[in-house]
Structures are given as C-alpha cells and as structure tokens.
Amino acid sequence: MDVSIFDHDRAKQIRRESILPSARNLRAAVECKFYDSNLGVTLGRTFVGLISDLGGLKIKSFATNGRSAGLADYLSKSERPNPFFALTPLRPDVADRFVRSVEQDLRKWCRVC
C-alpha cells in the first residue's frame, strides 16, 4: 500500500514512537502502480486481498498511469477500490478527477459537506 491514512491520534502515535503501523485505526488505502509495461489483473487481486484483510476502510483507491481492460473490469465490481487509469501529469483531467474523488471520500468520512 503506497498511501495510508489513519485516525489522527493513531497517526501521531505512529510518528511519535516510530513504530510500524498496523491496520488498527487505518481508514484509507491507496495503491499506486506506475509501470512502463502492461498491467495484469494480478495487481488488482493482490490489492483487493490486502484491503479485505484490513476491515472497514473508508477510502480504497487504485491509481495507475497505465491502462488494462482486464484490470478495469476486475476493479469495476462492487466493493472494489476506485480505479484511476492513465493518471499522469500529462492528463490533468484524470489527476483532477482523482483529487476530487479522494476529497469527496474524505469529506464523507469526516461528515463535512
């Protein structure tokens, strides 16, 4: 997992004590795959397996600069991470969509409109 978001108190404890984080109070997980080669469905399955072990995440996203019809189909199922394909600085529309999605998910989690 490339990006993780914890409850405030847990995040402070992790930083203060320099401990390896566990899944306790983990609220968000984002996997980032930036490859020059073709993406396989295995990447998505591995991340889905990991987050299913983590419990009640509020935010689950899979971001990649690539494209893959098979991976897109796999991630399109209910309860799977939100997929973001072709995420690069050359595609500001995709980057904006990714940022808006994360922002919206954070607002829902914090109950802020």
Mind listing the pLDDT tens digit for each residue in 52-106? Answer: 888 788 899 999 999 889 999 999 998 899 999 999 999 999 999 999 999 998 8
CA 105 to chain centre: 11
Whole-model pTM above 0.75?
yes
Is residue 14 within 8 Å of residue 24, measured between CB atoms? Answer: no
Give alpha helix (H) positions in the chain: 8-17, 41-54, 69-75, 92-110
SS3 26: strand
Which residues of 1-113 form beta strands (DSSP E)?
Answer: 3-6, 26-33, 59-64, 82-84
Looking at residue 113, what is its pLDDT? Answer: 56
With cut-offs at 50, 70 and 90, classify the pLDDT of residue 20.
confident
